[in-house]
Amino acid sequence: MILLKLAWRNLVGAGLRTWLNVLVLAMAFILMIWGKSVVDGMAYQLYDAMTNIEFGKGGQLWHSEFDPLDPLTIEDAHAVYPQELAQHIATDDVATILVRQGTIYPEGRMQTIMIKGINPGQKVMDLPTDKIVAGSTGLTPALIGQKMADKTGLAQGDLLTVRWRDAGGTFDARDVEIVHVMNTVVQTVDKNQIWIPILDLQEMSDMAGQATMIALNEPFEGTPSSPAWVYRDLDFLLRDTKELITAKNAGGNIMYGILFAIALLAIFDTQVLSIFRRKKEMGTLMAMGLTRAKVIGLFTLEGSMNGLLAFGTGFILGSPLFYYMAVHGYTIPGGMDDFGMALGNTIYAKYGAGLMLGTTSLLFATVVLVSWLPTRKISKLTPTDALRGK
């Protein structure tokens, strides 16, 4: 207890030097929490949007030929629904999706798109598919995203000529009516595609009872009975996104490392200077009966208290920023969705116990280590030499 009092008195006695160290360390701490919370928030938003809007909570069954990154696979990627999902399909508990390539001519400009057929009553993907019902025109109803609408100049109520090839490779064409324009942050369900009822697309393509993929609410147990289908769980579907977040974290860590190294250097520097200038004080303490270990403890405590003060200051100074970032978020000019990320325009910071405790513990342990390292010299100090300032 006496060491604690002594350390506190010395620290406060150092005045400006102490507060400068604390301020630098606190700034590093604030920036680290802020940066990490934004990346965590980004990851949460991405996973949440992609799971609820694009994939479904239980993952997806894909046709074995289907590769979303290879348009050449789409033509042959269709098969009859797997038998074991018949009950779920009948009750719309899964989203059956048939994907075909097609061409549209908005304002006379030819544009290649994906035509996606989906059961309008599906309860898996957070898409307004219930809007895909035929209007007064009796034409096939179509749903498009806002990005697609912006790009093509289409709006609700517009008619659009769609051309596609059936299973035999023959061109067919018909007019569809845009019955709804949806706002979504997930560009993979928006850009270059239209959504129509799957029964219409099956009839148009001569592919009755067939789909390209099936989005699930619950994970698929076991292996599909038909070799035409393979199960893709969320780990597989979110793999690219997770790799992106890992890369972002790695990049951020380098920056935080540099920032924190500067702050730690200040503490290390202060400690080295203290030990050099306070030799007589050390000798006196030893002469008064303090062991070398206790003197080392005192100096380490002084250094470590910089860390504790910095965390306190950091929380006080950083709280308004942390609160603002969590509630109002960070708005990106132009929006990240332009880069294909399912984030929308605003990223909200997310503070988990892991982030706060983990970051604080790591930083504190490092501060203690940096405070202790220069004090090892004290173990070689003789009290008589120290009293004489040697």
**Cβ distance to another protein smaller for residue 14 or 199:** 199
**Cβ distance to another protein smaller for residue 5 or 109:** 109
Minimum CB separation of residue 149 from another protein in Å reads 20
Vertex 322: Cα angle to 258 and 42 (nearest 5): 75
Binding flag, residue 117, another protein (CB under 8 A): no
Binding flag, residue 153, another protein (CB under 8 A): no
**Cβ distance to another protein smaller for residue 173 or 247:** 173
Member of 13, 169, 222, 289 binding another protein (CB under 8 A): 169
Minimum CB separation of residue 74 from another protein in Å reads 7
Member of 2, 170, 254, 353 binding another protein (CB under 8 A): 170
Binders of another protein in range 172-211 (CB under 8 A) = 172-174
Member of 65, 84, 166, 281 binding another protein (CB under 8 A): 166
Structure tokens that stand for 383 in this block: 């009290």
Amino acid letter, 118: I
Binding flag, residue 138, another protein (CB under 8 A): no
Member of 105, 315, 351, 372 binding another protein (CB under 8 A): 105
Binding flag, residue 171, another protein (CB under 8 A): yes
Question: What gap in Å lies between CA 289 and CA 193, rounded to an integer?
Answer: 81
Task: Pick the stretch among 12-20, 166-174, 226-234, 367-375 that binds another protein (CB under 8 A).
Answer: 166-174
**Cβ distance to another protein smaller for residue 158 or 166:** 166
Minimum CB separation of residue 174 from another protein in Å reads 7
Minimum CB separation of residue 199 from another protein in Å reads 17
Binding flag, residue 109, another protein (CB under 8 A): yes
Binding flag, residue 72, another protein (CB under 8 A): yes
Binding flag, residue 102, another protein (CB under 8 A): yes
Task: Pick the stretch among 120-128, 170-178, 191-199, 221-229 that binds another protein (CB under 8 A).
Answer: 170-178
**Cβ distance to another protein smaller for residue 161 or 319:** 161
Q: Which residues bind another protein (CB under 8 A)?
A: 71-72, 74-76, 100-103, 105, 107-110, 112, 161, 163-166, 168-174
